[in-house]
Structure 1
Amino acid sequence: MSRNKGIIGAVVVVVIIIFIYSFQGQSPESYKAEIEKKRDAQESFMRNSNESPFVEQNIKFEGLKFYPPNQKYKIRARFTAKENPEVRELATSEGEPEEYLEYGYAIFTLDNKEQQLIILENVQEGVLFLAFADETSADETYGGGRYLELKHDGSKSILLDFNLAYNPYCAYTAGYSCPLPPKENLLTVAIRAGEKTYKEL
């Protein structure tokens, strides 16, 4: 009887786990496969595309380095639109500032610390732009910060998937002008997700 109860208990646990993952919409396995597929596409671009900094400057490509996919860093943040948005100038690695329009704030809690990021908009290209740095910057990740591509449907939340954080071209070679994170986007936590520092072997 106790053995049967144990089997029933195990089945219940499995059912609960399946229910939780189905409620969240994605299992860890399928999420990992999705992230790895996107990283394979990123690697292929860097290795083969004429727009890649490696191909453009004829630099040997040694492969990108990433943290393992971790759903902890796929965050549904609160979104607050920027009242009276203004044009914001971001410093760049080449010194010439670039202009973006203030879009709104993403607010979330990670490792028991509340964080706030300002999201900007590249009006000419019609895309949202997020540059950030964190406690891994200049150590495990590129010191000039990393980028995230974002989409927003106008709701009061926005998805920040740091597993898709990527390096600007300046992380690989000189000769590019890369916007630096604004001071609001210097996070006080370590984001051990996404792309790591690139080092030629």
Structure 2
Amino acid sequence: MMTARFFFAVSACLFLLPLSSWGQADAAYAKSIRKHRKHYKKEFLEDQRAPLDRKGVKKLRFYPPDTAFKVTAAFERATGAEPFEMPTYSGATQPYVKYGTATFRLKDTTLQLAVYQSLRLIRMPQYRDHLFIPFKDATNGEQTYGGGRYMDISTADIEEGRLTIDFNKAYNPWCAYSDGYSCPIPPLENHLPVFIRAGELEYQKR
């Protein structure tokens, strides 16, 4: 006959199994984000136009990976969207078209982000599927760059009207590190009234 002590021990183990699985999933996800950020830093060193050298790259800072900021959004493709000139912090403009809108829930709040496609990059075969999500949130000017942050996705990331948005991969525009760059200003429709404590932190120049 199973003793009460044995029964509760088995029950505890069965209860802990799902928690263990979740812990392993979180660890695997954190590892994937660290790998992503390692590649991100490497790109600075491989691009001669980049504003940071090896010393500067070491000063890049990020929020700890947090799966709460990886969300699944309902995506609606824009129909009849007209090309427009997106302002940049240099005063110049860049041609874009609205590709669609992503709607998602984040910490009990329904939010939307417009997804854009660059009319310059679309001419280049390697960037034909590239999509751009510039955004601002309540952390700007406090913990993150005041001018907002960016995310990159691909048209292939949109499947059956769904899109995964991972704010842990949000990064700073080059204007956050140095002057002399034309960085798109996140449109008003992409100003989120919440704190996105994920992705890249404000760069400390000193």
Provide the TM-score with structure 2 as the length reference. Answer: 0.87
One-letter identity of the residue aligned with 1:141: T
CA distance in 2, matches of 1:5, 1:154: 45
The answer on 1:122 being equivalent to 2:125 is: no
The Cα offsets for residues 26-70 of structure 1, whole Å up to 9 and x where unpaired, read as 700000001011112222333464242124xx9855420100000
Match of 2:195 in 1: 190
Alignment of 1:69-148 (within 5 A): 69-125=65-121, 126=128, 127-148=130-151
Cα displacement (A) at 1:99: 1.1
Match of 1:4 in 2: 6
One-letter identity of the residue aligned with 1:99: P
The Cα offsets for residues 65-103 of structure 1, whole Å up to 9 and x where unpaired, read as 100000000011110111211113211001111111110
The alignment of Structure 1 onto Structure 2 pairs a total of residues equal to 195
RMSD: 2.1
Answer yes or no: is the 8 Å Cα contact 2:95–2:119 preserved in 1: no
CA distance in 2, matches of 1:138, 1:63: 18
Match of 1:27 in 2: 25
Secondary structure, aligned partner of 1:27: helix
Q: Structure 2: where are the runs of 5+ without partners?
A: 122-127
CA distance in 2, matches of 1:107, 1:4: 48
CA distance in 2, matches of 1:163, 1:16: 24
Answer yes or no: is the 8 Å Cα contact 2:41–2:57 preserved in 1: no
CA distance in 2, matches of 1:88, 1:52: 27
Q: Structure 1: where are the runs of 5+ without partners?
A: none
Cα displacement (A) at 1:154: 4.6
Identity of aligned residues (%): 34
Answer yes or no: is the 8 Å Cα contact 1:78–1:106 preserved in 2: yes
